[in-house]
A and B are shown apart, each in its own frame.
Chain A
């Protein structure tokens, strides 16, 4: 295994892979630093540029974006108090106070180094566990897959802050979208209304682009109109210089915190479709609970920054495990990557690693090297990153919208996809306006077909419906779905009692 990883590393440092990886990471860092531009959007924008590349080149670029985005998001969180992306929200809680208190360099580099340590610990997990998990995935028959997807949907619906019912509805609407077009077994047309284009079903990526890029940009545009909030930013003249050794020691002297936050990030990453925005909040919450000085959280202490940043980078590793071993996207970003794999003719799933060892270990290596690249970009470039925030959104957003349209078109060179993007962009915007969460919707779109086909396969294999409960893995997963529901209900009741109004973007 480690020889293969060594070969992968030797492979990836060749210029033809390193250049796309570097460019991807740079774009990711910039995209991550830009408030209002999520990592999902950044990956969507990069995707069409990878079509013409070799598979590993394209995937290296995408992994670079992912890792770079998670790392870059902390810059504005720490220095301006604006999270560059939802998965860096918790970083602002302690990062910004610390920066305001006159230690911006310490806050920033604590975040960067925590990201890198969390990411590299995640890499160990990624390399060591993908193989065994793929073996486990082979033991998953149609019953287990069906129950796994049900668990994923119920967990995401339960995570919704506003209303469990809206979360469930949103997931259900997502599943309904997949009913359109041919049925998966005998190809009978459903709900096509005689429209030729609908016969093939609704392509998934344009929907994702519409909902996650277009609809969110529309919401941002609306927010812009509300007038510019005066930023009480850190004095930009202040020195960001800091002793890196001291900062690293600050992190490494808290091994339990680092490991626990990384672990949380990984677990959230492995679970389908929950993603970084949950990981950093949960890790922060855990760090606070286990701390000997919980009352200090929020005043600018290192623990808060470390927990948030270690967890969101580890989350990337977890998501990559799920996509490589099970062929199920761990979040919207990996859903786009799954699309990229398919476009390059690679079937992800349990046999992925054994059949594409060079590519798989190349991806592991790209993930590791991307951290070094991100560091190499940030060391000289941090000050520049602050300037990026000054790019007027009036210029930035139209550019992103145009790139989204190009991306949708380029998927299979048909303008129909652009209409799909428009329809679902408007639809997604409506959902946001009426307080429906987007994450369960898109998960429904991702999993709807799979839920259906696995249900059919299960019944075709054996007509006994109790097998869903009596097969141990399947039964366990269904039990976990019920428990996640109960937990969500309990949580909602608690929140209602406290009437805490939390606000956040969906980036799952």
Chain B
């Protein structure tokens, strides 16, 4: 008899919580953070240490879901179509502009509400250990001798495509592109020598120190204190500065109170010393922008990407 009463009361509790979700205080269930690339890639490496800190300030579990595919746009579409209830966010970076202008997908930054920008990672031109050249000069000489023969692993239409394309434009060489989605699969391919070049960043410095990879040049204004012996592309006479900026966005029409809560939690998490320490290991700078500043930056960056797509001959809109 007791057991039946218990079961009945449990059922009643369950029914109420299902029937009246609006009575609960936001947030009352876990937050899903969609990382639109495979696990173990650089975007994943940046949001993994971020998630527990976000969880601390958000007050609910933060679950990372890796939804890779179609140059990161599969995950973006999933978030775009998710209910705008403040329980799904996208870990986004500059690809959201480039994939739109190169015609990979119809989803763009305007489909989302900005929350905050957290990190900025300069791109590094990276070569396979099986290649003959040891520096940028060697690469350029070889590339001029064999136009269209040096293979670059890239997520087509995304940042890892734009960065080498900018190098092509600045130096007048021509590469050959092979589709490898996300940094993790590109690493397998470049370590095995199946591609010659790729865009990566200082998250891979362990492999360079172990002699498994070669960093040719970093696309930043200044050398990075984590790896001061890697020259900037500018020093080498290649006028390319390129970085990948990562932040959180939510589906359009997410209610303002939820956005405010997400923004507060996101900013607080990114200010934690633990996040700075984790980002230092990834060769990444903590770059903070609140909702408003991030929104303005996204618009500006969108124009910039349109211009780059046009300059590179990749513009499809």
Residues of A within 8 A of B (CB): 138-142, 182-187, 196, 199-201, 341-342, 344-347, 349-351, 355, 412-413, 453, 456-457, 460-461
Contact = CB atoms under 8 A, between A and B. Distances in A.
Contact of B179 (A140, A185, A196, A200): A185
Contacts of A413: 32
B68 to A, nearest CB: 9
Contact of A186 (B65, B78, B104): B104
Nearest to B179: A185
Nearest to A345: B39
A182 B64 contact: no
A200 B74 contact: yes
Contacts of A350: 188, 191-192
B280 interface: no
B73 A187 contact: yes
B69 A460 contact: no
Interface string B138-172: 00000000000001000011000000000000000
A186 B39 contact: no
A454 to B, nearest CB: 10
Interface in B50-68: 64-67
Interface SS of B by simple majority: mixed
A142 to B, nearest CB: 7
Interface string B97-115: 0010001110000000000
Contact of A183 (B70, B177, B184): B70
A12 to B, nearest CB: 23
A182 B180 contact: no
Contacts of A200: 67, 69, 74, 77-78
A350 B151 CA distance: 21
B74 A187 contact: yes
B178 A182 contact: no
B302 interface: no
B199 interface: no
Given A182-B74, A187-B71, 6 more contacts: A139-B192, A345-B64, A347-B41, A351-B184, A456-B179, A461-B195
Nearest to B81: A196
B263 interface: no
Contacts of B67: 200
Contacts of A186: 70-71, 103-104, 156-157
Given A138-B188, A186-B70, A187-B70, A345 B40 contact: yes
Given A345-B64, A351-B191, A185 B156 contact: yes
Contact of A349 (B70, B176, B188): B188
Interface residues of B, number: 40
A418 to B, nearest CB: 16
A460 B192 contact: no
B243 interface: no
A472 to B, nearest CB: 15
Given A184-B69, A187-B69, A413-B32, A346 B194 contact: no
A453 B156 CA distance: 13
B184 A347 contact: yes
26 contacts: A139-B192, A140-B192, A182-B73, A183-B70, A184-B179, A185-B70, A185-B156, A186-B104, A186-B156, A186-B157, A187-B74, A187-B104, A200-B69, A342-B39, A345-B40, A345-B66, A347-B40, A347-B184, A350-B188, A350-B192, A351-B40, A351-B188, A412-B65, A456-B179, A460-B179, A461-B151
Nearest to B77: A199
B179 A457 contact: yes
A141 B44 CA distance: 24
Contacts, number: 91
A247 to B, nearest CB: 45
A267 to B, nearest CB: 24
A185 B178 CA distance: 10
Nearest to B64: A345
B186 to A, nearest CB: 11
Contacts of A182: 69-70, 73-74
Nearest to A196: B81
B40 to A, nearest CB: 3
8 closest A-B pairs by CB = A187-B70, A347-B40, A141-B194, A182-B70, A138-B192, A345-B39, A460-B178, A185-B179
Contacts of B103: 186
A199 B104 CA distance: 14
B187 interface: yes
Contacts of B197: none
Interface string B179-206: 1110010011101101100000000000
A182 B191 CA distance: 28
Nearest to A461: B178
Contact of A345 (B48, B179, B189): B48
Contacts of B104: 186-187
B194 A461 contact: yes
B112 to A, nearest CB: 17
Nearest to A197: B81
A374 B115 CA distance: 50
B181 A184 contact: yes
A201 B38 contact: no
Nearest to B63: A51
B149 to A, nearest CB: 10
Nearest to A347: B40
Nearest to A199: B77
Interface in B1-52: 32, 38-41, 44, 48
B73 A346 contact: no
A310 B257 CA distance: 61
A250 to B, nearest CB: 46
A413 B87 CA distance: 12
Contacts of B99: 187
A471 B265 CA distance: 53
A141 B77 contact: no
A351 B81 CA distance: 34
A457 B177 CA distance: 9
A465 B122 CA distance: 37
Of the candidates B40, B65, B104, B191, the one having the most CB atoms from chain A within 10 angstroms of its own CB is B40
Given A200-B74, A456-B179, A461-B194, A141 B189 contact: yes
Nearest to B75: A200
A200 B77 CA distance: 8
A286 to B, nearest CB: 36
A346 B70 contact: no
A487 B206 CA distance: 47
A461 B81 CA distance: 35
B177 A460 contact: yes
A457 B38 contact: no
A345 B70 contact: no
Nearest to B206: A355
Contacts of A140: 192
Contacts of B64: 345
Contacts of A342: 38-39, 66
Contacts of A351: 40, 184, 187-188, 191
A364 B126 CA distance: 33
A346 B151 contact: no
Nearest to A453: B179
